[in-house]
Amino acid sequence: MASPTRTIEFDAKGSEWPIQNVTVYNDQAEIVRTLEFKPEEPGPLELRLKGLPRSFQSESVRAEVTSANATLVEVSYDSVWKEGVEDDETRERREKVEELTQTKLGLQKEIERLNFKNDFLQKYSKAVLPQNESALIDGMPACVSMVDNLDSIDNFMAFCTDKQEVFDNRQAEIIAEQKELQQEITFLTKNDKRSHGVQELNEVIILLDIPEETLENEGLVSLNLIYLVWNAKWTASYDIHVDKQQSKVILTYYGEVSNNTGENWNEISMSLSTARPSAGGNLPTLPISNVRFKEHQNQMQEQMLLQQQGRNRQMSMAMRSDMMAQQMSNFAFFDVPQVQQRDEGRRRLQSPQTSSSGGSNAVFNIQRQVSIESDGLEHKQTIAIIDMEALLTHAASPKVSAEKVYLKCSARNVSEYPILPGLMKIFMNGYFLAESYTELVRANEEFVVFLGVDESVKVELKPVQKKNEKSTGGVMKGKPKKTRRVTYQRVIRNTSADVVRFVLYEQLPVSQDGKIKVDLIKPDLKKKLKDISYKLNSFNHVEARRTIQPNSEWRFMFEYLLEWPADDGDVTVYETKIAGEYTD
């Protein structure tokens, strides 16, 4: 004869079956509850965990027996809608709403009393003060005896004015308080778990088979319950500390964790994952392609639709091009120099440690116990501290930045994990500089942090010289030609006590016609110098690089010559914005 099934019930808010591990994703979290118990009888045993939150994803539930003295038979779940059922959290919300509502009603009654007092004061003033000259005797009100407690009419009027001001100020305060109370009531009502007095109750049922040997050996049964919940997420944020003297960067990697699941996480082990479970991992199904003759009545309609789609694509491409050009216009003249990677032994990844979850995703394990309430607020957790070498470069493009010189820091992500998009706070030599935002930086990729304008390095702009000439010969033999010689002079002064690595960008026009010839006169790109290097990058910008010693200057000459047939009129130099990443 089969043994009867015994049942043990647990409350999800209780301590008998606690949450031990939480893995947070970008829009949900995986919960692991661990249960250890000593069975009293052999045979089938049903475990019921009641009171799971509404964020519970029933299709995700699974269980695993981690001890060898019990067999998992079945895992199921049940959702029950009960009327009038109210948990502690819902009751607290309801009581809070009732309390706020009573406070709001009390304020409304106070406004009514203030209005009554104000009306009474105005009526009393009209009764006391004369409304016409006939009520005056020797310039004084005939009923002045009614205000004999006041020294004069002026005092009485001042008294009325002060009282009305008090009434008005208090009424304004009450209206502001009522507005705040209503906002709080709306928030609590919106987030109330009840729906017209009906509440969803989730529970998980696990059926085990307990052999007699377990009781004979007095063994403990260990069981893990695993499920997903919505309303949990984490985002990355960073502190960047730049040490200018040591030429290094210390990046502190944070995870901003938000828990609004309805379950408090008390003293749990936490992991933060870059995986996206909701995105799915299956290859989309490729549809079958068919062909047929077009029906005559649909030909015109389909042709018009295709034409409209073509126009939409052209407009979309034009808009995207304009947006990219606008976004890149501020970065068009800054390069990303190569940074030498540090030796593996010099890399520092501090606790909490990280571990890979396989594939292209990463899991960061927080190396301490964490407690996060279900309050929807962001709780900052330290993920890692990454020590990197930095390449500090001063850069200027006088054509667009005038005399300003910008300091930028280039570094390489020497960790094996990605730096995710997120807010970045930038510090240099212990001082806060600014907030920025970083895009995705994969392992071993370089990234650039702009540190703003450095006032200790300046560029002095000498007047531009343009000289037009007309001569014979040249472009077309035997025909007159025109030339224009353009000369710039830049004086870069380093007033700091440090050696600076400097790069200067100048525009060399690109000929858009075969008849127009552009010759670079200065600098000579082929000339090899000891401490100066020149090159023409893919945007036809001349890059001049050199190291400038403390309290010294560098005079840079830039000159080019335009030549074209005189019969073709004049030429004009115009600019085209760069749409795309500046990679030179």
Per-residue pLDDT band at 297 (split at 50, 70, 90):
very low
Same domain, 472 and 523: yes
- Whether 31 is in a domain gets the answer yes
pLDDT band at 330 (very low <50, low <70, confident <90, very high): very low
Residue 354's SS3 state is strand
Is the CB of residue 496 less than 8 Å from the CB of residue 550? yes
- pLDDT at residue 428, rounded to an integer: 87
In the predicted model, is pLDDT for residue 302 greater than 90?
A: no
In a shared domain, residues 367 and 477: no
Task: Please give the backbone phi and psi of residue 67, each rounded to the nearest 5 degrees, phi first.
Answer: -110, 160
The number of angstroms, rounded, from the C-alpha of 503 to the middle of its chain's C-alpha atoms is: 32
SS3 (DSSP) at 142: coil
> What is the rounded average pLDDT of the residues 557-575?
89
How many domains does the chain fold into? Answer: 4
Query: Which of 417, 438, 453 is the endpoint of a domain?
Result: 453
Query: Which three-class secondary structure state does DSSP give residue 52?
Result: strand
**Among the ranges given (296-300, 406-410, 524-528, 542-546), the one the predictor scored with the smallest mean pLDDT:** 296-300
In this structure, the answer to whether residues 407 and 426 fall within a common structural domain is yes
Same domain, 148 and 75: no
Q: What is the pLDDT of residues 502-525, one digit of tens each?
A: 999 999 999 988 889 999 999 999
In terms of residue numbers, what domain contains 223?
6-87+197-230
CB 264 within 8 A of CB 374: yes
Q: Residue 280, by phi and psi: left (phi above 0), alpha (psi -120 to 50) or beta?
A: left
Helices and strands: H and E segment counts in the chain: 5, 29
Q: Which residue has the higher pLDDT, 471 or 43?
A: 43
DSSP strand pairing (43-52 vs 6-11): parallel
Q: Please determine, for residue 255, whether its predicted confidence score (pLDDT) is greater than 80.
A: yes
Residue where one domain finishes, among candidates 206, 230, 254: 230
347 occurs within a structural domain: yes
336 neighbors 583 (Cβ within 8 angstroms): yes
> What DSSP element (H or E) covers 265?
strand 265-273
pLDDT at site 475 = 46
Residue 442 and residue 274 in contact, taking contact as beta carbons nearer than 8 Å: no
User: In this predicted model, what pLDDT tens digit does every residue of 444-501 receive, in sequence order?
Assistant: 999 988 888 889 999 998 877 777 776 655 545 567 899 999 998 999 999 999 899 9
Q: Is the pLDDT at 304 greater than 70, yes or no?
A: no
Please state, in angstroms and rounded to a whole number, the distance separating the CA atoms of residues 391 and 340: 9
Q: Which residue has the higher pLDDT, 329 or 313?
A: 313
- Phi then psi for residue 454, to 5 deg, are -100, 110
Instruction: Indicate if 247 and 348 belong to the same structural domain.
Output: yes
Higher pLDDT, 157 or 521: 521
Backbone angles phi, psi at 400, to 5 degrees: -115, -20
Residue whose token pair is 């004999």 = 148
Answer for the pair 546, 502: CB distance below 8 angstroms, yes or no.
Answer: yes
The pLDDT, as a whole number, for residue 179 is 82
Tell whether 420 and 466 lie within a shared domain. Answer: no
pLDDT of residue 233: 94
Residue 154 lies in a domain: yes
- Residue-level pLDDT at 366: 93
- Angle CA(302)–CA(308)–CA(309) in degrees, nearest 5? 90
Cα distance between residue 250 and residue 113, in whole Å: 63
Among the ranges given (125-139, 140-154, 328-342), the one the predictor scored with the smallest mean pLDDT: 328-342
Mean pLDDT, rounded, for 309-317: 50
Mean pLDDT computed over every residue of the chain: 79
pTM of the model: 0.59
Query: Is the CB of residue 407 less than 8 Å from the CB of residue 391?
Result: no
Sequence letter at residue 217 = N
Higher pLDDT pick, 356 / 423: 423
> Where would I find the H helices in 228-364?
296-328
- Yes or no: say if 448 and 478 are a contact pair by the CB < 8 Å rule: no
Q: Are 15 and 31 contained in the same domain? A: yes
How many other β-carbons are positioned within 10 Å of the β-carbon of residue 87?
17
In a domain, 323, yes or no: no
Q: Do 355 and 444 belong to one domain? A: yes
**Average pLDDT in the 105-120 region?**
84
pLDDT tens, position by position, 161-178: 778 778 878 888 888 888
What pLDDT, on a 0 to 100 scale, did the predictor assign at position 344? Answer: 32
Contact 449, 264 (CB under 8 A): no
pLDDT band (50, 70, 90) for residue 326: very low
Domain boundary among 164, 190, 216: 190
**Residue 25 domain flag:** yes
Residue 97 lies in a domain: yes
Give the closest residue to 366 by CA, choosing from 269, 233, 236: 269
Judgement on whether residues 247 and 380 belong to the same structural domain of the protein: yes
The one-letter code for the residue type at 168 is D
* 339: pLDDT strictly greater than 70: no
Q: Is residue 544 part of a domain?
A: yes
Name the percent of the chain lying above pLDDT 70: 75
Quick one: DSSP state of residue 377?
-
**If we measure between CA atoms, which residue out of 567, 378, 393 comes closest to residue 480?**
567
Can you give the pLDDT at residue 560?
93
Give the confidence band of 109 by pLDDT, cuts at 50, 70, 90. confident
Residue 520 domain flag: yes
Give the per-residue pLDDT at 472: 55
| Residue 38 and residue 174 in one domain | no
Q: How many CB atoms lie within 10 A of CB 259?
A: 25
Do 372 and 251 lie in a common domain?
A: yes
For residues 219 and 248, state if they share a domain: no
Summarize pLDDT for 44-86 with one digit per residue, the tens.
999 999 989 988 998 899 999 998 788 999 999 887 766 655 6
